[in-house]
Amino acid sequence: MKKLLSILFSLVVAIFAIPAVANAGTAELVNINPTATDLSQYGGTSDVPAGTHLDVFGGVIGTQYTAVYTVDAEPAMVVLVGAEELQPWVYDANAGTLTVYVDFTGFAEGIEFGAPSANLDFDIPEIPTSPDPFSIAVVWPDDAGNGLPSEMIGTTMATNTDTWNIIPPDENDANFGFELSGPAGSTVNFYMFIPQAVIDLLSSYSDTTLNIEDLAVSLNDEQATLAVTENTERGGADVDISVLMSETKTVISSLSASTAATSITVARKKPVSIAATKGTIKKGKYTKIFGWIRSGKKDKRVTLWKKVKGTDTFVKFKSLRTNKKGKYSHRMKPGKTQVIKAKFKTKVAKKKITVN
């Protein structure tokens, strides 16, 4: 009984945080086929913020479900937790319905739903047999400035970790995405569909026209991958990556394990970027430094510098040339913790490599 309650608490109460929505839409589940156990009543869905409808289901991993809702407005996004998107969700304005297609894949290895929770101090009798849970969240736009802009209509996010937060776009920070949380050291999946209207919105915030190839994905504010691919069928772009829950952003320390948070945002490429395959390594081990330049041009010179211990001075140790995609890389074995700087013309980016 306690294990199921912990699952539901994690799924329902702690899965997201978004700004309250001034003009919220509403939804009501009509049916889910094949039948799944409705677990929402056991998890406290009254805590869900305005502008969001959440259902938690218990089902059989490997099953494909179709959920149909009646809705009074088109949502900005659908978020699947513990599941993947089988095909794009469909809003029918004439019928006033939303249809969500779910591939129930389960959660990432290492997520322990049975862990004690300090916030879970109640007990509910007669809970049904413990099926594996997944959830569907429907989130509406709000152009009053408190929530998600209407340009985000059509967005999808799916993940196999249990906690997420929306990072909405705004004029002062021309990026957007999500923050995921999970057991420190675990690897989780992340999928997001970005409608073309969102890319156009980022263009307006950046004062330049952005194409899909101009975008990059940042992990914890460091541009780390160019895995933004065009989706011609839906008119937009996909991000489909695996993410290591970094120890460097630990947000919760529970009785069983620490929980780490990783932000995943999409924005315009930086003039030059730097990342590492491993930001923390053991002494004597290698890591690969890599990055790209915004222009994507071949045979451009990028230099690598390392910071001198005890000073603010950097010394150059490597000169590289970009490949045909504007990327560079260098395999190195740092002897100690150090900050590495990549320099392209007058632009720089920095990355700390920790050696234990």
CB-count burial class (<10 Å; 0-12, 13-18, 19+) for 61: middle
Residue 85, strand partner residues: 102
pLDDT for residue 120: 33
pLDDT for residue 56: 86
Q: Rounded to an integer, what is the distance from CA 231 to the centroid of its chain?
A: 18
> In this structure, which amino acid lies at residue 227?
A
* Separation between Cα atoms, residue 8 and residue 133, nearest integer Å: 8
The 8-class DSSP code of residue 104 comes to -
pLDDT for residue 5: 30
* Separation between Cα atoms, residue 205 and residue 169, nearest integer Å: 9
* Separation between Cα atoms, residue 38 and residue 153, nearest integer Å: 27
* Separation between Cα atoms, residue 283 and residue 295, nearest integer Å: 35
pLDDT by 10s per residue, the chain, length 356: 223 333 333 444 344 444 444 456 889 999 999 998 887 665 444 556 668 888 888 889 999 999 999 999 999 999 999 999 999 999 999 999 999 999 999 988 776 543 333 333 333 334 344 578 888 999 999 865 557 899 999 999 999 987 888 888 878 878 999 988 888 878 899 999 999 999 999 999 989 999 999 999 999 888 989 999 999 999 999 999 998 886 555 444 443 456 788 889 999 999 999 999 888 899 999 999 999 999 999 999 999 999 877 788 999 999 999 999 999 999 999 988 999 999 999 999 999 999 98
For residue 35, what are its two tokens? 């039948």
Alpha carbons within 13 angstroms on the beta-carbon side of residue 46 total: 3
pLDDT for residue 145: 52
Q: Where would I find the H helices in 161-299?
A: 196-206
CB contact at 8 A, 108 and 259: no
Please write the tens of the pLDDT for every residue from 320-356: 999 999 999 999 999 889 999 999 999 999 999 999 8
pLDDT for residue 260: 80
Is domain 275-355 annotated with CATH 2.60.40.1930? yes
For residue 207, what are its two tokens? 């004062």
The 8-class DSSP code of residue 173 comes to B
* Separation between Cα atoms, residue 142 and residue 201, nearest integer Å: 15
pLDDT for residue 144: 56
The answer to whether the predicted template modeling score (pTM) of the entire model surpasses 0.85 is no
Please write the tens of the pLDDT for every residue from 289-303: 999 999 999 999 999
Residue 138, strand partner residues: 53, 78
CB contact at 8 A, 1 and 7: no
The 8-class DSSP code of residue 7 comes to H
pLDDT for residue 183: 81
CB contact at 8 A, 161 and 252: no
> In this structure, which amino acid lies at residue 18?
I
Place of tokens 């992340």: 190
Domain edges within the chain: 2-268, 275-355
